[in-house]
Chain A
Amino acid sequence: MKFINSYFKLAENNTTVKTEFLAGLTTFISMSYILFVNPSVLGASGMDTGAVFAATALASALGTAIMGIVANYPIGEAPALGINAFFAYTVCVGMHVKWQTALAAVFVASFIFILITMFKLREKIIDAIPADLKFAISSGIGLFIAFLGLQNGKLIVANKSTLVGLGSLHDPLVWITIFGLLVTIILMILNIPGAIFIGMVLAAIFGVVTGQIALPNKIISTVPSLAPTFGQAVFHLKDINTLQMWVVVLTFLLVTFFDTAGTLIGLAQQAGFMKDNKMPRVGRALASDSSAMMVGSILGTSPVGAFVESSAGIAVGGRTGLTAVFVAIFFLISMIFSPLLGLFTSQVTAPALIIVGVLMAQNTAHIHWEKLEIAVPSFLILLGMPLTYSISDGLSLGLITYPICMIAAKRRKEISPMMWILFFVFLIFLWVLNY
């Protein structure tokens, strides 16, 4: 116990093993949907869903453990939503690329990723982003998370004429979300520890009691085999030899780069880790992130990255890598307990995401809104992330307008070279993705 204390620096971070355990459980439950969503999404590319389930669990466990032990951050890693849809629907189905080849592309992208990280390029980028924009990124991610939660919880649904609209109270699932949200809000305001986690458990019970969620008929079942997907990325490396495949590699690289950089910044900001606008041990966090992606590609899944849902665990007090280690252990255990996970539906986890959005919205107070050259890019990042449903698209809207605004304000000299590079990178990024 003392070893754990000193290794993870629990006392310095004002936390305890119990808090880290609770945080790990909270983050795991908030993330666990990926165990079910990822196989169903990647399955569309022809991959074996049982193998993807096992690969998702293992890749998440390994990636998160590395983040916890090497970087000492309470951040969970798993195959990211959005990029898994890009993998299956855009690359495999749309471009008629075999899933094995797509996995090879992920492997190559992760390799380049590791190189960039080793040369401290990623670190430089994160440090070069101005403080106001970092606050905007945090808030934007918070809005994005809340939007995810509101959609999952069926409080917001599709609307033919306005794209989005209020959900119907006739949908019984909405009531799980409403119940969970109200309970969680009250518990949080009362300062009850683990409020978010208790709220999720109560919402799950509510769901079972109202017949919305089925009690599982068994608790344990066997782990599916990884054989169908294991190593396929490596066997098909030679398929990365066309321009089209290199564009695919570049896209995997760019999107994961900024999705996870944005997420890491936002989470570090939320946990109060930022010191003088810099993220400590950032090199290790990035290295862990990139390694997780490579491991995942070998096991057989789309790019693995930092999960915004880690904010739920941070919100209940998780501050060190011990949280991540617990998350990793839960991912391993989950392989056997897959039937139980069915209790934590997206409506049950929605309140956690919404509350987290509230907590991250605090960052909006620190943005210098009265200076239009700061307000405009900040606003575009903040609103862009939820409304384009993409962290990197939102980020690109802000980073492209930032230098233009600063020039208009006659503050051109304050734009660091890195921000100019990002300007061009994101211009190219938007071009590549939209061509």
Chain B
Amino acid sequence: MNLDKVLAGFFIIFAMTLNFGFWYGDPSAVHMHSKYELFAAIVVNLIATVLKLGDKSQVGSVLIATSLVADLQLIAAASIWTISGYNEPMDTETFGIIISLSGGALLANITSVVIYVGDTLKSKR
């Protein structure tokens, strides 16, 4: 059991699951998307990105790229939520943007996981 791989895999997949959890549900219903879950998703995504840093191989570079994309989208979603939804209640249009941004981040995370699993399957150890 490779502790390094366990930790890395854990955070990468955890990032994807949290992201999915936030994104799933009717885009017009605010109560279906918890902002704490978005917060958790951002944090775990950041940790996953940091863990992927420093890998010079091709696979490593692509993993970092997908992670950065996911980070960017989620932070953008959180920023929009903060700026527009601070004191007054949010309108559905803005909320739609937030949800779609997180949806994009989800795709990046899925790609990341697929590449990661694929690389692991390919290795003969």
A complexed with B? no
List chain A positions with a Cβ less than 8 A from chain B. none
